[in-house]
A = this chain, B = another copy of it.
Amino acid sequence: MKPVAVDAMGGDKGPAEIVSGARQAAEKLGVPVWLFGRPDVVDAAGPGGLEVVACSEVIEMHDDPGVSVRRKKDASVLRAAEAVRDGTASAMVSAGNTGAAMASALLRIGRIRGVHRPAIATPIPVPGSRPTVLLDAGANTECQAGWLVQFAQMGAAYARTRYGLAQPRVGLLSVGEEATKGTNLVKDAHALLADPSWNVASGGTFVGNVEGRDVMTDEVDVVVTDGFTGNVVLKTLEGGMHFVERALLEAMTATEELRAAFEVLWPAVLPLVTALDPDSYGGAMLLGVDGVCIISHGSSTANAIVNALDVAREMVTADLVGALRTAVSAPAVDPT
């Protein structure tokens, strides 16, 4: 397999964290990796034996994505995308500026033929079960009904490829189960998805509208929504989980006696904490561009990068892009 291009400069925790994750993925999992970044910075982070592709510029977390991808031609994230376009790299991973990573992939790698808009697919943890794939988690703030149908097709293809589901259950996020509930966008998308030919063509089963409370359950495999709602849902859940975890931890360690009891429970609780940690899931996948592109959380730890590289390799090997190509070429529903 060709190497995975890692944007070594991205992420809130700095290059050392990213480089450390890349090194671990190469050493422990045998994932071939190229590091894209400023050589002095990457070298200082200790790349081990990994190959470094020198780039002179960095798109910072606060940079405007549109402006910076035009001006910083030698930025690490853009160069990583170019390596995928040129076929020298098999996939790209960035934990940097999300907008810049999306723009880089879109401009350099380009869309799969027939795709209206790429979408960000994020696995939502469902402890004790497979994650639910939520998309669009933030790429497209304003959407059209036909795009949501494509998100459903791409989400189903992703769930099949990544989790081995033969016929993923796809739900449309709304405020009630009835087809008459929701915004005009949701009602229009519902009508398109409810067309029986959709199921035959797409390899997913449309289970109708789902509600916010269904996202973290095993009732549905793929949840489709516009990028505004999806991003709000994702951040609401992350914030809520984080808050409850912290409040519980404080309550359970407030005194010596409680701490002693908590230590007995900790090994039993740890798997759940790990399962709820976004770092466990390998980051979000930008579906619809003509290459495997993983956008990791800005706060990614080295462990998150290890998991992202593991998923990248898996999706390259399983030909995710080929599965997406087939999914969006399904002729049954006119996605305009």
Query: Footprint of B on A, CB under 8 Å?
Result: 126-128, 138, 141-142, 173-175, 181-184, 186, 211-217, 225, 227-229, 231-244, 247-248, 251-252, 254-255, 257-258, 260-262, 264-265, 268-269, 271-272, 276
Contact = CB atoms under 8 A, between A and B. Distances in A.
Contacts of A239: 211-217
Contact of A175 (B182, B231, B257): B231
Contacts of A241: 240, 244
Contacts of A229: 228-229, 232
A186 to B, nearest CB: 8
Nearest to A275: B247
Contacts of A141: 175, 181-183
11 contacts: A211-B232, A211-B235, A212-B236, A216-B236, A217-B239, A225-B232, A232-B232, A241-B244, A248-B248, A258-B265, A258-B268
Contact of A258 (B128, B181, B184, B264): B264
Given A175-B232, A228-B175, A269-B252, A237 B258 contact: no
B243 A268 contact: no
Contact of A257 (B228, B252, B264): B264
A247 B272 contact: yes
A interface, by DSSP: helix, strand, loop or mixed?
Answer: helix
A265 B242 CA distance: 20
Nearest to A127: B247
A247 B128 CA distance: 9
Given A235-B213, A238-B212, A228 B268 contact: no
B216 A243 contact: yes
Contacts of A234: 212
A241 B242 CA distance: 11
A119 to B, nearest CB: 14
A254 B236 CA distance: 29
A175 B212 contact: no
Contacts of A184: 142
Contacts of A248: 248, 269, 272
B236 A138 contact: no
A308 to B, nearest CB: 21
Given A251-B268, A268-B258, A212 B228 contact: no
A146 to B, nearest CB: 18
A248 B128 CA distance: 11
B243 A217 contact: yes
A70 B269 CA distance: 52
Closest 3 CB pairs of A and B: A213-B239, A212-B235, A212-B236
A238 B213 contact: yes
A258 B270 CA distance: 13
Contacts of A182: 141, 228
Nearest to A173: B232
